């Protein structure tokens, strides 16, 4: 068996002559060399928020608002609407059955209906007279 003393000793980590004299200059040259600046980073830093704001703005303003829906409904001709409803079968009983009416809902509906009348009551009296005549 070999003993540790029998193994020849070599200096495996021998630096070349003058290496440590040149080493500070080599390090300084690498550190002092300006790295090329990434051109896209400053552009992206400002462009991404702008793109995000524009995207949100497009979606925000492209969705129809309730006011635009009301304007569009007001632009529909009444005769065309009646003709459409006559030609398409809408079973209003099914619609009413699916709706649960509370007392507040009914009062609000009544107020909306009566708010559309611009009358002093004479039309209602006339209607009452017509209904009484029909009941005779």
Global pTM? Answer: 0.27
pLDDT at 118: 65
pLDDT at 33: 66
The domain limits of the chain are 46-120
pLDDT at 14: 81
Continuous segment of H or E residues that includes residue 13: none
CA distance readout (Å), 65 to 3, 57, 76: 93, 14, 17
Helix ranges (H only) for the chain are 19-32, 40-62, 66-74, 78-87, 92-97, 103-115, 122-135
pLDDT in tens, the chain (136 residues): 678 888 878 777 788 888 889 998 888 888 876 777 777 777 888 888 899 999 998 888 877 665 677 788 788 888 888 888 788 776 666 666 666 778 888 888 888 877 776 666 677 777 778 877 766 5
């Amino acid at each position: 068996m070999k003993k540790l003393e029998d193994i020849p000793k070599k200096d495996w980590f021998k630096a070349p002559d003058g290496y440590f004299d040149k080493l500070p200059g080599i390090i300084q040259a690498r550190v002092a060399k300006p790295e090329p600046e990434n051109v896209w980073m400053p552009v992206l830093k400002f462009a991404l928020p702008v793109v995000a704001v524009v995207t949100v703005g497009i979606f925000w303003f492209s969705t129809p608002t309730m006011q635009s829906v009301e304007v569009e409904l007001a632009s529909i001709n009444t005769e065309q609407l009646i003709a459409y409803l006559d030609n398409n079968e809408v079973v209003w009983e099914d619609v009413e059955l699916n709706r649960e009416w509370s007392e507040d809902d009914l009062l609000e509906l009544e107020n909306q209906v009566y708010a559309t009348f611009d009358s002093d009551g004479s039309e209602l009296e006339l209607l009452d007279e017509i209904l009484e005549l029909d009941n005779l």
